Amino acid sequence: MKATVEPLPVHGNVPEREAVINLSAIAHNVAQLRSIAAPAKLMAVVKADAYGHGMLPVARTALAAGADWLGTAHVSEALQLRAAGIEAPLLAWLHTPSTDFAAAVAAGIDLGCSGWELEHIAAAARAEERPARVHLKIDTGLGRNGCPMAGWDALVSDAIACQDEGLLRVVGVFSHLAVADEPHRPETDAQIQVFREAVALAEDAGADLEVRHLANTPATLSRPDTHFDMVRTGLGIYGLSPFEDLNSAQLGLIPAMTLQTQVALCKDVPAGQGVSYGLNFVTDRPTTLGLIPLGYADGIPRIASGGPVRVNGVTYPVVGRIAMDQMVIDLGPHDAGDAGAPGSALGAAAVLFGDGSDGGPLVEQWADAAGTVNYEVVTRISQRVPRTYVGGA
């Protein structure tokens, strides 16, 4: 054993593993979407830990960049925002019989209501001695959350009765689109039509609506006739494209998350070396393998063999199976490090995806490798990967 050990080179100053969140990109994307949506207001959707980007930093950045509202799926998520001191208008829309409606009313969180929640929200308002603010949700065709048109009259009249009692105010009507990422599909027109009818019925029944809202990110970008008073954008504020045939840059958006680590081991192997569980990949020549210390425990889909990893300016596909903690790239007969010296890529930055500005890999390539969408790739990056923040106000 040597008495002293030289520190190993860490070429890119990259920590062991990190998801870098570029808050300046978030601010840019919010401003971009806001200008597209104007005069409609913009709700920044920060559910699911802001699609994996970190709810609080994203929420603060989005508000500073001009977002008017924040949206979450769960009341518990909205309560975290309030607990952090965020006072902006907040809407939560996905409830269960265990949802703490009283806490939501007490915290001034607007509540989506598809039906059964109404009497629970009214009871919470009575207990808290504070009127709830309710957005009635109409199912215009998605077939998921929301009240079917057949039950809409009854829901509206029950809600207006509660409003007349002073228990709540119906401040919004909203719905969610099913196929807005495929702008040519006619179902969106049908959903808009049903939405207009539902809004008219609510207004005729006595609702004094502050916000009518229907559009998600793809509709915000492709269908101005869905904007109404407010758009609810998630994916776009993270700089990702919802469309098959248009990338972020073409939409004026900047991907906010970069996922990177260091090459953890670099070794020369002969031809015929099997790689990773199942030995599904076998080297066809003597080559250098690079070990990438990220796996499905970090949220990289196990199915995504072939996904891109950029090392020293070259993008390599993952070979063999992705394991819980690690995956392997084939660096080629001479590794890509300085002068081709074996092992020289040890400690080099390994980028799985980023903003693409340097020609580097994109989230969408991982989504393709995994047979999924960019939404899922970023949202599933696990808590084992530390988030670090750059840019911002």
Known binding residues for substrate are 144, 324
**What is the distance between the alpha carbons of residues 251 and 210, in angstroms, rounded to a whole number?**
29
Diameter of the chain measured on Cα atoms: 84
Q: Which two tokens stand for residue 171?
A: 């401040």
The angle subtended at Cα 228 by Cα 225 and Cα 234, nearest 5°, is: 90
Q: Which two tokens stand for residue 91?
A: 């809407």
Residue type, 301: P
Residue 45 binds ligand PLP (CB under 6 A): yes
Q: Which of 41, 47, 51, 296 is catalytic?
A: 47
Considering beta carbons, is residue 217 or 288 the nearer one to ligand PLP? 217
Q: Which stretch binds ligand PLP (CB under 6 A): 14-22, 57-65, 233-241, 315-323?
A: 233-241
In whole angstroms, the minimum distance from the beta carbon of 233 to ligand PLP comes to: 5
The angle subtended at Cα 377 by Cα 191 and Cα 178, nearest 5°, is: 5
Residue 217 binds ligand PLP (CB under 6 A): yes
Residue/partner pairs of 368-371 with CB below 8 Å, 24 or more apart: 369/301, 369/303, 369/304, 369/305, 369/306, 369/307, 369/308, 369/318, 370/301, 370/303, 370/304, 370/307, 371/303
Residue 242 binds ligand PLP (CB under 6 A): yes
Considering beta carbons, is residue 177 or 300 the nearer one to ligand PLP? 177
Q: Which of 44, 50, 235, 263 binds ligand PLP (CB under 6 A)?
A: 235
Residue 255 binds ligand PLP (CB under 6 A): no
Number of residues that bind ligand PLP (CB under 6 A): 13
Q: Any idea of the CA torsion for 204, 210, 211, 212, to the nearest 10 degrees? A: 10
User: Which of positions 162-201 make contact with ligand PLP (CB under 6 A)?
Assistant: 176
Binding site feature residues: 144, 324
Considering beta carbons, is residue 93 or 296 the nearer one to ligand PLP? 93
Residue 93 binds ligand PLP (CB under 6 A): yes
Please confirm, yes or no, whether 267 is among the known catalytic residues. no
In whole angstroms, the minimum distance from the beta carbon of 232 to ligand PLP comes to: 4
In whole angstroms, the minimum distance from the beta carbon of 180 to ligand PLP comes to: 8
Considering beta carbons, is residue 172 or 308 the nearer one to ligand PLP? 172
Q: Which two tokens stand for residue 17?
A: 């593993």
Residue 361 binds ligand PLP (CB under 6 A): no
Sign (positive or negative) of CA dihedral 114, 119, 122, 127: negative
367 CB contacts (<8 Å, ≥6 apart)? 373, 374, 376, 377
Q: Which of 47, 29, 52, 67 is nearest to 253 (CA)?
A: 29
Q: Which stretch binds ligand PLP (CB under 6 A): 195-203, 234-242, 312-320, 384-392?
A: 234-242
Considering beta carbons, is residue 51 or 281 the nearer one to ligand PLP? 51
Chain residues in the site for ligand PLP (CB under 6 A): 45, 47, 73, 93, 176, 216-217, 232-236, 242
Active site residues: 47, 277
